[in-house]
Structure 1
Amino acid sequence: MPTPKFKPGQSGNPKGRPKDKTPATMIRKSIVADIPDIVNNLVAMAKAGDIQAAKVLLDRICPPLKPQAMPICLPVNGSLVEQGNEIIMAIMGGQIPADIGGQLIAALSAQSKIIETEELIKRIEVLESQS
């Protein structure tokens, strides 16, 4: 087994990581003084019709909207198959969006795996108690 370079409890870098030496920090420091000019140039470019400059500004000022959860009223009784059919019918009928319906179907699938696992555990416990 090779011998370690450093003794236990002794750091190979006693001064630690150098402060403010990461590339991102160095870039930030180099442009701090120029930020007002950069923003003014972006505004001027956006006013002149530069779509990319406008997008940069708008993305920083008004971040994109995130989808909002909407309440869904579907029957929750019956088997998982019947619940899945209700979801599919609601998607086809336009009552719920397809992406939400897909999430609900995925949740039903996960639920079925949980139920299946629980049933298998119970069967194994019964078999083990019989032997």
Structure 2
Amino acid sequence: MARDVESGKFLPGTSGNPGGRMSNAARRLRELMEQDVELFYAQLVAGAKEGDPTCLKIYFDRILPALKPANPPTQLPALYAAANLTEATRAVTDAIARGDLSIEDGQRLLMGIGATVRVEEHDEVKRAIAGIQAKLGIKKETGDDV
């Protein structure tokens, strides 16, 4: 377990519990709760009905979580008709601007287009290297496909 020498705190990204094991207190609490789940639930609901803020938070966070927005599928004919990635990007940004596409969905599409750009750039570099190697008479090593 990596700790900062001066402060003794765990370094960012380093777990103080690398095995993921539950603490003894947490394990005992879970065992008590499992012995009578119905009673625990009834007390939680009763506390929530009385307005207990902790019970309300637990109830709404765990038992009745917030609904995630469900965006209906969107058809973007301009995206499918795009002749290149620039036109595809423009189709997505135009759809966001018109309100035909949510910002979140548009962002995911743009990330996908960005990934496609990176793959195409990678392929283009590989082709260029292969062309240079062919002109120089350099034999391609096996396993250089990636």
Query: TM-score under structure 2 normalisation?
Result: 0.63
Distance 2:75 2:84 in 1: 17
The runs of 5 or more residues in structure 1 that have no matched partner are 1-20
CA distance in 2, matches of 1:30, 1:61: 19
Equivalent position amino acid for 1:26 in 2: R
User: Letter of the aligned partner of 2:118 in structure 1?
Assistant: K
Aligned to 2:42: 40
Q: How far 1:53 moved relative to its partner?
A: 1.7
User: Which residue, 35, 59, 65 being the options, matches 1:63?
Assistant: 65
Q: State the Cα distance separating 1:30 from its structure 2 match.
A: 3.9
Corresponding residue to 1:119 among 100, 121, 124: 124
The separation in 1 between residues aligned to 2:133 and 2:127, in whole angstroms, is 10
Per-residue deviation, 1:64? 3.1
Tell me the secondary structure at the aligned position of residue 96 of structure 1: coil
- TM-score w.r.t. length of structure 1: 0.69
Larger Rg: 1
Residue 107 (str. 1) matches residue 109 (str. 2): no
Residue range with higher mean Cα deviation, 47-56 or 110-119: 47-56
RMSD: 2.4
2: CA distance between counterparts of 1:60 and 1:119? Answer: 50
Counterpart CA distance in 2 for 1:40 and 1:84 is: 53
Determine the structure 2 residue equivalent to 1:79: 84
Residue identity matched to 1:68: A
* Partners of 1:45 and 1:22 in 2: CA distance: 27
Distance 2:100 2:134 in 1: 49
